[in-house]
Chain A
């Protein structure tokens, strides 16, 4: 069974641009969660989608948004990029709600904002 895939793996953008990251969950998984990982803040939850609906959202500004498609694939978008948005963005999928089900993580997309 294929794991969680994330594209692209690396991105370099400049301040003010926007970026879209993609995540394909494990086949059959309906929950997709996104996390931001930085050396200073650690792993921070961005949002979770389940059956195309956002179930929960972390404490991030509205510049961060996401969506989930009917095939469970998910995208997250960051608009008006800031230097502080440089991070590893991790996607995780699970069969159902992430809070008590095992989450399977992708390798991440490393975003660098110059």
Chain B
């Protein structure tokens, strides 16, 4: 079964600094990969998804992620952090052909002024 690991439960950056949130997956077949964001007292919102088109995926709010098969990674980046980016971020993986999706444990991003 597929699984996903998010490295770092908490990440803190300064406003304007690079944001890098790490996600590694395991899957026996080419997966679908997703990044979601959750603001306090809200549900999850899709940032971006990889479904085997371009390996560099651009999402909303200036985020992007690169699918690296050799490293089984799908790290999320943003060149310049904004205070409004403070939230919890979840990486998710699903295997093609089965009906299962797994979420990572989440990474809480703090942005310091």
Q: Which of A98, A102, A103, A108 has the most CB of B within 10 A?
A: A103
A89–chain B nearest beta-carbon distance, Å: 11
A-B contact count (CB 8 A): 51
Q: Name the contact of A107 in the complex, choosing from B41, B98, B99, B104 (C-beta under 8 A).
A: B41
How far is A87 from B102 in the complex, measured between Cα atoms in Å?
18
Tell me whether A55 and B103 are in contact (CB under 8 A): no
Set of chain A residues within 8 Å of B104, measured between Cβ atoms: 42
Report the contact-size class of chain A (Cβ under 8 Å from the partner). Answer: 20 to 34
A48 within 8 A of B: yes
- Interface-forming stretch among B12-20, B45-53, B71-79? B45-53
A-contact 0/1 string along B69-94, CB 8 Å cutoff? 00000000000000000000010001
A98-B99, A105-B45, A106-B43 known, 13 other contacts, Cβ within 8 Å: A4-B43, A42-B103, A42-B105, A56-B100, A90-B44, A98-B94, A98-B101, A99-B32, A99-B96, A99-B99, A99-B101, A103-B44, A105-B36
